[in-house]
Structure 1
Amino acid sequence: MNDKLMQSQKRLHDSLFELYMQDGLELYLAGTRGLKRELIIQLETSALSPEKGEIIHYYAVNRWDEEDEFDEWAKPLVALSAEAERILGVTNGQLAHCRSTDSVSFDFFNFIKF
């Protein structure tokens, strides 16, 4: 085997061992998500003002890992007005098949606390 390649492999091995010895195992096991996580969060409500509606769309994505994403709509307790349907681009019929706001929000908060 080429001497340069052997030296490079030894340096890599030594670096990984040093990371492990400095409690880097948790970081290694977390993968790229453990290295950097900055979430972009978007929430949409069922009414034209937050005071009158509830959150029905929960969205978050890690700006460093697009596979680290949460995107789910929830069924509101009160049906959307025609104006809200037009603005949101979603209908009451589409939301009828979604999980409850309580269920979705529970999963969303677990996702963002990682």
Structure 2
Amino acid sequence: MNDKLIQSQKRLHDSLFELYMQGGLELFQAGTRGLKRELIIQLETSALTPEKGEIIHYYAVNRWDYEDEFDEWAKPLRPLTAEAEKIIGVTNAQLAHCRSGNAVLVDFLGFISECERYPLKS
């Protein structure tokens, strides 16, 4: 057998074995949706430092299921500066119609800790 083909088959075998060891076989058999929940979280603030700003954008998405997503803006307690509006790309007028940061935070925390749907591992 061709030496390159043998090496290629060995690499394929090793890759499949590693995927199997990491739970890839289960992912492959069940499909990725609903089997695992690994969240990518992004928070955006109204200023460069926590002392001066607050979280105004809450975003999280399950890397295995893009329909499992939370994306909501919050109305800040203090209006954004003109400089912050330019950097963030949203205006005070756009945020005026949003819910308060506390209300959004409660829903966000509920989303990221959906224990019924995604039980915590022991």
1:88-103 alignment runs, 5 A limit: 88-103=88-103
Q: CA-to-partner distance for each residue in 1:76-114, whole Å, 9 max, x for gaps?
A: 000001111000000000000000001000000000001
| Structure 1 outlier segments of 4+, above 2 Å | none
CA distance, structure 2, for counterparts of residue 48 and residue 83 of structure 1: 11
Q: CA-to-partner distance for each residue in 1:44-79, whole Å, 9 max, x for gaps?
A: 111122221110000000000000000000000000
Q: Does 2:55 match 1:87?
A: no
What is the match of residue 17 of structure 1? none
Q: Does 2:42 match 1:56?
A: no
> What letter matches 1:103 in structure 2?
A
1:68-87 alignment runs, 5 A limit: 68-87=68-87
RMSD: 1.3
> What letter matches 2:81 in structure 1?
S
> What letter matches 2:78 in structure 1?
V
> What letter matches 2:55 in structure 1?
I
Q: What SS is found at the alignment partner of 2:67?
A: strand
CA distance, structure 1, for counterparts of residue 52 and residue 112 of structure 2: 25
Higher helix fraction (1 or 2): 1
Please, what TM-score do these two structures have when normalized by structure 1? 0.70
Please, what TM-score do these two structures have when normalized by structure 2? 0.65
Q: What percent of counterpart residues are identical?
A: 77
What is the match of residue 108 of structure 1? 108
CA distance, structure 2, for counterparts of residue 49 and residue 85 of structure 1: 15
Q: What SS is found at the alignment partner of 2:80?
A: coil
Identify unmatched segments of 5+ residues in structure 2: 1-32, 115-122
Q: What SS is found at the alignment partner of 1:42?
A: strand
CA distance, structure 2, for counterparts of residue 44 and residue 75 of structure 1: 12
